[in-house]
Structure 1
Amino acid sequence: MSEMDPAADGVRLQKVLANAGVASRRVSEQLIVDGRVRVNGKVVTELGNRIHPETDLVDVDGQAVQLDATKRYVLLNKPTGVVSSMKDDRGRRDLTEFTRDWPERLYNVGRLDADTSGLLVLTNDGEMANVLAHPRYGVTKVYIAKVEGTVTPQTIGLLTKGFDLEDGPIRADKARLLDSSRGSSLVELTLHSGRNRIVRRMMAEVGHPVVELVRRQFGPLHLGTLPAGRTRELDKVERGALLTLARQTTQESPVSGGETSDGEETG
């Protein structure tokens, strides 16, 4: 490729890595020499190589590196009562109150129902957002549901074995009972489905309506201890993990024009 020619235009790879915050330029040079850096899927070991940060894809130890400093990735712990929209025609609380302090125009990756709290990603990287929210790719999400009644091991087994809903069969990738007391239970569900209000419908179908629902994980991202209503920017490791996931999914299964990605993710 022409951009890998030392005599070509572009920016030296070690400088690009240093500017992206991967490591100092000297350490970045060692990463290259050690064969730990790839450009567009090919290992690069020569220090004279130049790349185009706007178009080339770089990864270190298999982890994608974000080269575009204009892209912003923010994690929000969405409170209940907030709709996953930048403007709500019904006058409900929307996401603008959590994005107004960021200089970029940020948009949500997928959605959470107004009654569901938890992890929501905000970004100005439209391409990445479309990939991660698209139903075809089935990015894994982890929820904790407080439900009515005492959930039994048999019910947990049914959730993972699967059953039919009105819009087709469904099953949880994983399910486990966290606690049961005072007539309610806490259930952790791992799903890759993006169907509308799927967690609530699944739990209602097995006889345990949802009382409260929170999303704790989206792909490689974890909510951690971030308080409700607060935001924080993703760190370098989280950005790399998210971008790696986006690249892997597009390589494995390109988006077709026959599907839509604007449905609710859960609730």
Structure 2
Amino acid sequence: MSKIRLQKFLSERGIDSRRNCAEIIKKGLITVNGVITTEPGFHVDPDDDSICFQGKHVSKTKEKKRTIALYKPRGYICSTSDKDGKTVYELIKDIPERLLPVGRLDKDSEGLLLMSNDGDLINRLTHPRYEHEKTYEVTVSGTVDNKIIDLLQSRLLIDGYRIQPAKVKFLRQIPDSNRTLLEFRLKEGRNRQIRKMCELANLNIHRLIRKKTGNVSLTGLKPGKWREINVH
């Protein structure tokens, strides 16, 4: 077999997205024939070279590409380990492939989480330049007027970074409670971005659900359940 870039090889074996594989290589976590390699562009022969990630051999054959839509319940984290055992991997034990989260949802949030072993797809859905829109429904305390909506749609300063404007819409006042349901549509997804936006607007979040990523929606899924999808 002809040689390919190490970064591409790892991505095709489901290690991570190409972008993240480059960082893994730079950190010295990959060996090729027993030698640490820190150049993502280093060329390897998938048939002849012995490639290890953190001491474990990486399969020479490509994994079957697989992508699922999971309804992540509240209280579950997106990493592989948690002292309470409540990770999203507990929900997909019957899937043999090593799937990675496409983006993140924090422990207190719920809703649509895409998971895949297709590194190119993960990169395409998470890299800011592709601007894939994500839609959330957020329940907050109190009433929300146009002034607050305008603030939420402005280029707020979060963690020293001026975010891109979000689209925020009033959906409804929730009956028999002093709460409001809002829709947020973002084309970037910084760490806990909506929570930090609401904090700047003095809004207390009671529930945060991701409803849609690109053209994939949560419709038909119940908490903890998943379905196979094709994303183009």
TM-score range (shorter-chain normalised) is 0.5 to 0.7
C-alpha displacement at 1:69, in angstroms? 9.7
Residues 145 and 208 of structure 1: CA distance in aligned 2, closer, same or farther (over 3 Å): same
Higher mean Cα deviation, 96-105 or 202-211?
A: 96-105
Partner SS for 1:119: strand
Q: Give the structure 2 partner of residue 183 of structure 1.
A: 178
C-alpha displacement at 1:172, in angstroms? 4.0
Q: Is 2:106 the partner of 1:113?
A: yes
Which whole-Å CA distance do the structure 2 matches of 1:86 and 1:210 have between them? 27
Report if aligned partners of 2:198, 2:205 keep a CA contact under 8 Å in 1.
Answer: yes
Which of 1 and 2 has greater Rg?
Answer: 1
Which whole-Å CA distance do the structure 2 matches of 1:156 and 1:84 have between them? 30
Q: Give the structure 1 partner of residue 66 of structure 2.
A: 72
Over the aligned positions, Cα root-mean-square deviation in angstroms equals 2.0
Q: Is 2:78 the partner of 1:84?
A: yes
Q: Is 2:216 the partner of 1:221?
A: yes
2:140 counterpart (143, 147, 170): 147
Q: Give the structure 1 partner of residue 95 of structure 2.
A: 102
Which whole-Å CA distance do the structure 1 matches of 2:85 and 2:180 have between them? 30
Q: Which structure 1 segments of 5+ residues have no match? A: 1-67, 244-267
Which whole-Å CA distance do the structure 1 matches of 2:164 and 2:202 have between them? 15
Q: Considering fraction of residues, name the structure with more helix.
A: 1
TM-score by length of 1: 0.59
Report if aligned partners of 1:79, 1:118 keep a CA contact under 8 Å in 2.
Answer: yes
Amino acid at match of 1:190: R
Stretches (4+) displaced over 6 A: none
Amino acid at match of 1:87: S
Which whole-Å CA distance do the structure 1 matches of 2:111 and 2:152 have between them? 22
Which whole-Å CA distance do the structure 2 matches of 1:127 and 1:202 have between them? 30
Which whole-Å CA distance do the structure 1 matches of 2:221 and 2:160 have between them? 35
Superposed, 1:116-127 pairs within 5 Å as 116-127=109-120
User: Number of paired residues?
Assistant: 169
Deviations 1:168-209 (A, max 9, x none): 223543111111242111110001122111001101111212
Report if aligned partners of 2:132, 2:187 keep a CA contact under 8 Å in 1.
Answer: yes
Partner SS for 1:80: coil
Which whole-Å CA distance do the structure 2 matches of 1:204 and 1:198 have between them? 10
Residues 115 and 148 of structure 1: CA distance in aligned 2, closer, same or farther (over 3 Å): same
Report if aligned partners of 2:169, 2:184 keep a CA contact under 8 Å in 1.
Answer: yes
C-alpha displacement at 1:102, in angstroms? 1.6
TM-score by length of 2: 0.67
Partner SS for 1:97: helix
Superposed, 1:1-267 pairs within 5 Å as 70-88=64-82, 90-181=83-174, 182-234=177-229, 239=230, 242-243=231-232
Q: Which structure 2 segments of 5+ residues have no match? A: 1-61
